[in-house]
Structure 1
């Protein structure tokens, strides 16, 4: 396993040099059968997106994992933390000042060793033996020499790991983190719900066409996030294809799951608001027949699809950093 230790000058660099010598015995104990190679790289200054920058350096240098040692403070839910891990990116970050003023090396060694476990896909606070075995399996997968590569084989051989990585990203929270997309979705849905022309269209389209519109709207939102937010990676060398494919599969399933969750919530809200705001007599008069329960469901269906399209337009206004933060959850470690 090639592990890059990216460090800023002074205290982070001192810790990186120490870790390069002392980490191997601890990691060999945790993951028997794996060899380790540590590369210390100095980078002056801290980028705004620490994890993204570490991921770029990982791909440039052809490492398997990257650990960034920074002087920046880290936080989760506005609380300071020592370290963060992103299993999807194969990257971890340690805030060296959070280790304290004394015994930095002694405290930093177990933190970084735990960080490797988190990066290996073990996102629980206390991973059990099965978690460790799965993490070791993923590390071996990343460390394998390049050979015949098939995405289907990668998926079938790593279903459990992919599920853990996707769960780590918490896709059901994706839309909540995109405030502009969520605002646009709600505005578009409210407009569609109270517009008589939408009532007529919902009644005329039928189930097949409404389903097709729903699929297209969710696909538009998904592509806006992945393409517009630059979430898709390309392998820069043949040896990176496994890791990059695993990352892209995780990203795609995370975004699709998040969009499906958003659509489900919008549909439930549309049903409730349709019955609350659309008067049956007025609704029936517009349709030319008494309003039935199915008519309200069709209206909610179309409303949800239009709201999702509005959300896609709003997502296009989000910054790349906002999309990355929404798509990937960085877990506390250490």
Structure 2
């Protein structure tokens, strides 16, 4: 197929506008990655008789509202203001419906849809986001009824080759996402709301509670970007490496590294990582109290996300510190002197075990004795903290609007 055939027709009979309203940070980043190709994809896979325009407006309420109805109401008002035909909100909040985790939902009547970005998993976010947006716009454009979906299924079959060319795996008019391993392990079910519950006509829910929570947690940790905490660990790196490097000049660590079993090394490493995670949570007050969230389940999710995010960050820190100690051992510890001390030949395994032991011991010292330069970077690892920040921002914006109206 030539390049020209992949472009929307210039003589399209109508122009339709789709507005994307992502929450700040990761949802906005993923939405911006998709926006350039959505116009072409909407033309080919939703309605080829229309010329599509896609706009993006970032709104903090999408990442701070506690109920979908509040987000939908806000999105509907933005839709009227911007004169859009359809709106897709992308939030980084978990959505719960009747004890199930909701991935996305749409209102045909209001032309508004909501996607919970963490439920899309860790990767590939961009591909899943494209498929989800296309499907939700299709639901709103053609309708969620059984006959409407059957007609759309026929259109999808006619363009099956084009869908493959565009990298779309979703070939079912009733499926939100295409077939992947993650979707096989954590399948979705489509539920139509006949009475328009909370203004929603169609929902997509995880069929398995525990596997759904695991995927949701993975997506929330991904949104926290735990690797971004590394700059805040500069002081810990300095204290930990200084402490461990000083300990390397004593033969006690050499002897212990040669005598410890593999199980002891693993236990010591896990204890060191756990102590640092616990210290960060206690020292910076990162444990989320229930009074700031919308229920026990949300509180537990936020706290679990905080623990996992910090654990990933500390594990990255541990690996970097281990590489530094391995280099230090090779440079500063004479192989002959070490063999004489241990009364046996030494090799790379001895150096690696010594660096492992030094890293674990130094991590204990770093956790207990170092302060962090950037507390904000660590606090951003907590979901609830970011949501309270956004909620405060929304309240300030509302107060400013009220003052302007009064003036």
Q: Distance in 2 between matches of 1:196 and 1:240?
A: 54
Q: 1:294 pairs with 349, 354, 376, which one?
A: 349
TM-score normalised to the size of structure 2? 0.45
Is 1:130 aligned to residue 132 of structure 2?
yes
* 3-state SS of 2:337 partner: helix
Shift of 1:222: 1.0
Give the TM-score of the pair, scaled to structure 1. 0.54
SS at match of 1:128: helix
Could you tell me how far apart the structure 2 residues matched to 1:202 and 1:170 are?
34
Structure 1 equivalent of residue 90 of structure 2: 117
Distance 1:224 1:305, change over 3 A: same
Tell me how large the CA RMSD over aligned residues is.
4.4
In the superposition, relative to structure 1, how do residues 161 and 322 fare at CA in structure 2: closer, same or farther (>3 Å)? closer
Per-residue deviation, residues 300-331 of structure 1 (Å, max 9, x unmatched): 1101101211221245556754531466797x
Q: How far off its partner does 1:205 sit?
A: 2.5
Where does the alignment leave 5 or more consecutive residues of structure 2 unmatched?
A: 1-17, 26-56, 66-77, 94-115, 119-124, 137-175, 178-189, 191-197, 199-207, 391-407
* Alpha-carbon spacing, 1:109–1:305, altered in 2? closer, same or farther (3 Å): farther
Match of 2:305 in 1: 250
Q: CA deviation at 1:245?
A: 1.6
Structure 1: which 5+ runs fail to align?
1-25, 31-50, 52-81, 93-104, 138-142, 144-152
Partner of 2:247: 192
* Alignment partner of 1:157 out of 212, 218, 230: 212
Which of 208, 217, 226 matches 2:263? Answer: 208
How big is each residue's C-alpha offset from its partner over 1:246-289, in whole Å with a ceiling of 9 and x where there is no partner? 21121111111111222122223322332222111121122222
* C-alpha distance in 2 between matches for 1:122 and 1:238: 19
Contact in 1 for aligned 2:302/2:382 (Cα 8 Å):
no
**Structure 2 residue 276 is matched with structure 1 residue 221:** yes
CA contact (8 A) 2:310 2:381 kept: no
Task: Note if contact 1:225-1:316 (Cα within 8 Å) is conserved in structure 2.
Answer: no
Q: How many residue pairs are counted as aligned between the two chains?
A: 226
Task: Tell me the equivalent position of 2:394.
Answer: none
Q: What does the per-residue CA deviation read over 1:193-250, in whole Å, with 9 as the maximum and x for residues that have no partner?
A: 3332221222222322222211111110110112222111121389511221221121
How far apart, CA to CA, are the structure 2 residues paired with 1:84 and 1:269? 43
CA distance in 1, matches of 2:64, 2:236: 28
**Alpha-carbon spacing, 1:114–1:242, altered in 2? closer, same or farther (3 Å):** farther
The alignment status of 1:324 with 2:379, answered yes or no, reads: yes
Contact 1:188/1:310 (8 A) holds in 2: yes
Compared CA separation, residues 241 and 109, structure 1 to 2 (3 A): farther
When residues 187 and 155 of structure 1 are mapped into structure 2, their CA distance, relative to the original with a 3 A threshold, is: farther
Q: For residue 91 of structure 1, what is the aligned residue in structure 2?
A: 64
Cα separation, 2, equivalents of 1:262 and 1:129: 35
